[in-house]
Amino acid sequence: MKSSVQQFVYFLAGVVFAILWASASAATKIGLLAAQPFVIAIARFTVAFTIMLVIAHLLMRKKIPSGMRIWKQLTIYGLLNVGLYLGLYVLAMQEVSAGLGTLFVATNPVLIVLLGALWYKQPVGLSTVVSFVLCIAGMLLAAYPLFQDSYATPWGIGILFMSMLSYSAGAIYFARQNWGDVHILTINGWQTLIGGACLLPFMLFFFDGSANTFDGHFWGAVLWLAIPVSIVAVLLWLYLLRDNPVKASAWLFLCPIAGFGIAAILMGEPLSWYTLMGVILVLVGLYLVQRRGVSRRK
């Protein structure tokens, strides 16, 4: 039985995680005011993996991973979880609103359940199909007024959906691998480095010096994405997962609400009844997936 202090700490960790995770879309949009998407991504990953690897190997004295199997796993996970996911995500943020980006991120539990069932050839339950349909309908409903006001494009929606598929595939891959005694901070640091390295050729190919201004918008966005989001939010997520994975996924319910609020305050993005109804549909879809997860564990 948890003490009241432990319950408060858990609650506070969940709220802070959801707000930080939801803030990534708005921070990316702010960064795009000053620089190209791949420039932002590479700068973010460089700051993040440097801090994590210094802490893991110099301060905590954790050993560097060894063996072809571990490095193969780190490479595949880094490609899926950073290279493809965040590479596509930062591209999509040029075409869609920050609030809509957060709404898509919050649907990952549904995609993880659906992809996991297809990947391992398990039957897909009716609740999973209904959840998927509700989430897609909710995202399209929330996006409808944004299309009219040039806050989203079909191309951007498509790229954003592909990025979510990559993230979900990465989550499934990570869960199915044997990482031995490799520390989680070490895994996160090296997979971030590898994923960022995958994007480096694209940054060099598309680089346009005149399109990048390394001002306060750029460094503010990069540092926020690297430290509060890539490091602090991830560590909070791991803390929540350690307590109870099913309960942890419930905090993703808060991300769309926080995301649209942050986008409205910082970016002046519109809020409407379409937004509200879209968020409600997505939350219902996520709730069905979580309830299915709870029932399967009983």
User: Does residue 276 or residue 148 have the better pLDDT?
Assistant: 276
Give residue 263's pLDDT. 81
pLDDT at 12 over 80: yes
Give residue 204's pLDDT. 94
Instruction: Please identify which residue in the block is written with the tokens 């540092």.
Output: 223
User: Does residue 103 or residue 215 have the better pLDDT?
Assistant: 215
> With contact defined as beta carbons under 8 Å apart, do 246 and 287 qualify?
no
The mean of the pLDDT values for the chain is 83
pLDDT at 286 over 90: no
pLDDT at 222 over 90: yes
pLDDT single digits (tens) 52-102: 999 999 999 999 998 899 999 999 999 998 999 989 999 998 888 877 787
And the tokens for 138?
A: 């909710």
At residue 208 the predicted structure's pLDDT band, cuts being 50, 70 and 90, is very high
Give residue 1's pLDDT. 53
The total number of residues written for the chain in this structure:
298
Sequence-distant (6+) residues with CB within 8 A of 170 are: 77, 80, 81, 85
pTM over 0.75: yes
Give residue 115's pLDDT. 79
Among 107, 108, 89, residue whose Cα is nearest residue 44:
89
Amino acid at site 2: K
pLDDT at 121 over 80: no
